[in-house]
Amino acid sequence: MSQARTPFFARLALWVRLRGMAQAAVWAYKARSLFVILGVGFGVASLTLIVTAVDGAERKAVELVEWFGPDAALVFGGNFKKQAVGMRTNTLTQDDIRGIRQSLPGVSMVVPMRAKPDVPMRYQDNNLPGSLVIGATENYAEAWNWPLVEGRDLSEEDVRLASRVALLGDKPARELFGEQSPVGRTFQVGKFQVQVIGRLKYRGASGGGGDVDDRIVIPITTLTSRFNLDRKYFRAMRIKFLEPQRMGDHVENLRAFLRMSHNLTPTQDDDFSIITADEILKFLSAFKGGLVAFLGVTAAASMSVGGFVLANLFSISVSERSREIGLKKALGATQNAILTQFLLEAAMLTAIGGLVGLGLGLGLGQLLTRLGMLQILFSWKVFFLSLSSALIIGLVFGIKPARAAARLDPIAALRGDA
């Protein structure tokens, strides 16, 4: 039994000694080590950004689809794809709303909407410089699958009487009323007062740094009368359908109806835009693909540069350390031992570079998240992928100089001729 164990423990002891030598060499050649660590680190940072950003985009896509609802469509006046921003956005009318409610098959709910941005609000000594005021018809929260923390939704009577009532988003509720319940309280919106009848549940920031919770919702009749807006047109409408599995057919029927209602000829472009959960997923998929392509090229280039830096510096190191290698061989070191030591040095440096790159990538990702440019999602997959990629770089680019060191002639190396 002891004889069987002896080779194993001998190999283990040799490996421990080689690891110690590799650590000493890494520490002794500090400039070389720093360049290798930075070269690998920048590549791993790019890779980390790719993985975390893609994971974050996928999570955001799931959230957006859940918020938006697979059974709904959002229609805007104006064609986002064909017309410049701000051109002919007032194309949805009362006739469109009535026609969709009465004639379009499969429709369960239609909620027209208008908005007034940057409206100041005040409650006692608390002020909000400007929030989004949305005008809508009854059942706004239900139409948007937006739960109420407390209170009730807008009603048909609120709309008919142009009542001065409001649903509060989470942000104005917190900033105006703090921890106390806003329901039943009255506050100033622009130049008139409204009473809070409900509070919308917190949903979180939307894309582009906007905040979906920074809004109040009042009856659309109240919005148009108090802000003197044209009552003929709507900016958008939210439509829900009974059979979400037939959304493709519903959208085509809706498009055909609106084109007919707006008297558009077959050669004319739509003067409206229809957004569904599928459209959101397509956009996010295209965004994710572009992100992966851009960062992927950056990561591949950076990691290749790090690998070539490692290979070149290790090749130079072999020449500089020829006497050391010759002495070790003269004292009985085998080619495998020399090869293993150099590969251990490469693995240590790239592993440290991987950890540095992981930290740099996560830090940069957090910064981009705060700026609203990206949303990252950390997982242990990122850690293992970054570390394994760094180790692969070390082994792939370190093998050639390690073999060159292992094959040095000991006598020539001691003479300095290698």
Query: What are the tens digits of pLDDT across the range 244-260?
Result: 889 989 999 999 999 99
Interhelix angle 247-261/94-103, nearest 10 degrees: 140
Please identify, among 216, 237, 270, the residue that sits at the C-terminal boundary of a domain.
270
pLDDT tens string 305-348: 777 877 877 777 777 777 777 777 777 778 888 888 888 888 88
Average pLDDT over residues 169-180: 93
Share of the chain above pLDDT 70, in %: 86
Residue 2's pLDDT is what? Answer: 46
Residue 55: per-residue pLDDT: 73
Same domain, residue pair 336 and 229 = no
335 and 240, same domain (yes or no): no
Query: Residue 194 above 90 pLDDT?
Result: yes
Answer yes or no: do 232 and 331 share one domain.
no
Q: How many CB atoms lie within 10 A of CB 84?
A: 9
Of 3-17, 70-84, 224-238, which range is least confident? Answer: 3-17
Average of per-residue pLDDT across 5-26: 70
Its pTM stands at: 0.63
Q: What is the mean pLDDT of residues 42-69?
A: 76
Per-residue model confidence (pLDDT) at position 291: 65
Of the listed ranges 247-251, 269-273, 325-329, 397-401, the one predicted with least confidence: 325-329
Whole-number pLDDT of residue 82: 62
pLDDT higher at 386 or 208: 386
Among 270, 295, 325, residue at a domain's last position? 270
Q: How many alpha carbons fall within 13 Å on the CB side of residue 164?
A: 14
Backbone conformation region of residue 2, classed left if phi is above 0, alpha if psi is from -120 to 50, else beta: alpha
Which residue did the predictor score with more confidence, 2 or 398?
Answer: 398
Sign of CA dihedral 221, 223, 224, 228: positive
What is the Cα–Cα distance from 295 to 49, expressed in whole angstroms?
A: 8
Q: Do 299 and 265 belong to one domain?
A: no
204 and 121 within one domain: yes
How far is it, in rounded angstroms, from Cα 59 to Cα 67? 12
Q: Do 245 and 342 reside in the same domain of the chain?
A: no
- For residues 276 and 43, the model is more confident at 276
Strands 165-168 and 192-200, how do they pair?
parallel
Please give the average per-residue pLDDT across 27-38, as a whole number.
77
**Residue 328: predicted pLDDT:** 78
Name the more confident of 333 and 76: 76
User: Of the ranges 141-150, 189-198, 242-251, 279-288, which one carries the lowest mean pLDDT score?
Assistant: 279-288
Residue 86 pLDDT grade (very low, low, confident, very high; cuts 50, 70, 90): very low
Q: What are phi and psi of 367, to 5 degrees?
A: -65, -45
Q: What is the mean pLDDT of the chain?
A: 82
Q: What is the mean pLDDT of residues 39-50?
A: 77
List, as one string, the DSSP characters of 304-329. Answer: HHHHHHHHHHHHHHHHHTHHHHHHHH
For residues 126 and 208, membership in a common domain is answered with yes
Does 357 lie in the same domain as 306?
Answer: yes
Same domain, 105 and 193: yes
pLDDT of the residue at 404: 80
Indicate if 338 and 364 belong to the same structural domain: yes
Q: What is the pLDDT of residue 200?
A: 95
Among 270, 296, 329, residue at a domain's last position: 270
Same domain, 106 and 47: no
Per the structure, the complete domain to which residue 336 belongs is given by: 13-63+283-415
- Asked if 206 and 313 sit in the same domain, the reply is no
Name the E strands within 50-164.
Answer: 72-77, 92-93, 107-123, 126-136, 148-151
Number of domains in the chain: 2
Residue 372 DSSP label: T
Question: Mean pLDDT, to the nearest integer, of 111-125?
Answer: 93
Q: Between 86 and 151, whose confidence is greater?
A: 151
Cα 137 to Cα 67: distance, rounded to the nearest angstrom: 19
pLDDT band at 373 (very low <50, low <70, confident <90, very high): low
Mean pLDDT of the 299-308 span: 74
Does the pLDDT value for residue 61 go beyond 50?
yes
Spatial separation of the C-alpha atoms in residues 146 and 141, rounded to whole Å: 5
